[in-house]
Amino acid sequence: MLVSTLTVIAILCIVTFLLIREHANAQQAATRSATTIVQLINADVLRTIELYDLTLQGLIAAARRDDLKQVFPQIRHMALFDRSTTARFKGDVLLLDPHGQVLADSSAIEPGTGSYAERDFFLEHAARPDTRMFISPPFKLQCECELNGEWRITFSRRISTSTGGFLGVAVASMRLSYFDQLFNSLDIGTGSTLSIINADGILLAQKPDLENDAIGKSFAKRPNVERILRDGNGSFDSVSSIDAQRRLYTFARVGNLPLTVIVALSGDEVFGTWKRTAIVISGATGVLCIGLLWLSGLLCRELRLRRHAEKELAQLAATDALTGVANRRILDLTLRHEWFRAQRSGQPLSLLMIDADHFKAFNDQHGHQAGDDALRAIAKVISDNVRRPADMVARYGGEEFSVVLAETDSAGAQLIAEHIRVAVEQLPFAAGVESPVTVSIGLGTWTTANDVSLEQLLFAADKALYQAKERGRNRVVATP
């Protein structure tokens, strides 16, 4: 049973190891797939923003040309906004003076009135002398126009003099429906999400929209977003703070821009196949292990029953059926064993030969049943007077018994023999049995002094028994 238990433990350990490894493989495969999606989005976003940046740089370069100030307004408008036609999902492209007033507008030849001096991108460029592109947080238009209410972001660059002075801002807006169109072209499975956030954790786009009106909100304080903004690139497994679903987050910065793309694959989508496989394998392994333990239990039970049966058979083979003491075969084995042990140790060994007196006449007078009862009673008396574990009582044959007394000299053996004789003589008898049953006992002893052989010891005990019968029976005779 121990081997079966260890086998079951080994099977469970192996299956657990394989399932853990397959779980890791499923996660790695999902991470690679998500990384590919992130790279595709990054490439498309970078290409689109580069087009907007080229538009701004072209607008700034054209605004610095003095010759365009003398041409017709239509020609000047075409020269200023020639590159803006390539930008996708383009909103207004504006050229602003140092006071935030509109100098040129891509949507009209004659620019409208209005000031952008309080807008975040204008304040940023007015305060900072560097000319890097600024990406604004998402916002909605407040004017009454066709695209009113649609989310946008702006890309802007500072226009500076040769000495670094502030000349104004070139700004272009992009509709965030661009991200919706990009995300819709990608299949990420059920329960997964695509998102883009800026460096402040503000959500620019998400597919699907897990939280109503989430665009434009800051998620910078949420644990997953905090980790994403801190690490910049990477992958981890976590629970969404929006819908409490476990997802595998893979994210990366868009080049050197303050934007981060996030692919959050659903845990059910990533590990669904693994879970189904794990359930099947675990169930099959459980059934196998339970079956193995059950069969092992049955086998152990059968082995115990077999050992018990073998023990009983061995006991029956070693026991005299009538009296319950050892039989002649066990007597011979035990006597030979004790003989060799006495030879090694030098301790004395005594042998009693006991015969029921006039047993044939007793048997003829009282019947075989009474004779059998008498033999069983004699065997019990002998066993009761031989108590040491090393000693043995055996039925020699017919009405004769033998007693092997290990490490017992002649005097000790005579004392035991006399106790047996007296006890047999005092046995109670059933009604109708007039004469008592007695026994004659012959005793032989081996010592280092006489150094007789085993056959001689048997002969000496048998000779002493013969002498006891010759001298009138019901007595103990020891060899000299």
Cα distance between residue 354 and residue 385, in whole Å = 13
Mean of pLDDT over the chain = 86
Tell me, yes or no, whether 404 lies in a domain.
yes
- For the cut 90, the answer to whether the pLDDT of residue 187 exceeds it is no
Name the more confident of 339 and 243: 339
- For the cut 80, the answer to whether the pLDDT of residue 144 exceeds it is no
Q: What is the pLDDT of residues 426-460, one digit of tens each?
A: 888 654 555 578 999 999 999 988 878 889 999 99
Q: What is the pLDDT of residues 283-326, one digit of tens each?
A: 999 999 898 888 888 888 888 888 888 787 776 677 888 888 99
Cα distance between residue 369 and residue 383, in whole Å = 21
Q: What is the pLDDT of residues 208-217, one digit of tens each?
A: 876 677 888 9
**Which has the closest alpha carbon to 206: 174, 216, 227, 253?**
216
* CATH number of the CATH domain containing 396: 3.30.70.270
At residue 368, the pLDDT reads 86
The residues pairing with 476 across neighbouring beta strands, listed in sequence order, are 441
Query: DSSP secondary-structure letter at 271?
Result: H
At residue 170, the pLDDT reads 92
Tell me, yes or no, whether 141 lies in a domain.
no
Q: Is 287 exposed, middle or buried (0-12, 13-18, 19+ CB in 10 A)?
A: exposed
| % pLDDT > 70, the chain | 92
- For the cut 50, the answer to whether the pLDDT of residue 246 exceeds it is yes
Cα distance between residue 35 and residue 32, in whole Å = 5
**Cα–Cα–Cα angle for 399, 405, 406, rounded to 5 degrees:** 150
Tell me, yes or no, whether 392 lies in a domain.
yes
Structural domain count of the chain: 1
Residue range 40-44: average pLDDT?
93
Cβ contacts of 227 within 8 Å, gap of 6 or more: 236, 238
Residue range 394-411: average pLDDT?
92
| % pLDDT > 90, the chain | 41
Tell me, yes or no, whether 206 lies in a domain.
no
Tell me, yes or no, whether 467 lies in a domain.
yes
Estimate to the nearest angstrom the gap between the alpha carbon of 60 and the chain centroid.
65
Q: Enter the tokens of residue 458.
A: 């048997």
The residues pairing with 218 across neighbouring beta strands, listed in sequence order, are 202
Asked if 354 contacts 401 with a C-beta cutoff of 8 angstroms, the reply is: yes
Name the more confident of 402 and 368: 402
What residue numbers bound the domain in which 462 lies?
328-478
Cβ contacts of 16 within 8 Å, gap of 6 or more: none
At residue 146, the pLDDT reads 45
3-state helix, strand, coil in the chain (%, to 5): 50, 20, 30
Cα distance between residue 395 and residue 378, in whole Å = 11
Name the more confident of 162 and 69: 162
Q: How far is CA 137 from CA 151, 176, 245, 417, in A?
A: 10, 11, 28, 116
Tokens 């490490």 identify what position?
407
Tell me, yes or no, whether 374 lies in a domain.
yes
Q: Which amino acid is at 29?
A: A
Tell me, yes or no, whether 161 lies in a domain.
no
At residue 349, the pLDDT reads 93
Name the more confident of 215 and 403: 403
Tell me, yes or no, whether 464 lies in a domain.
yes
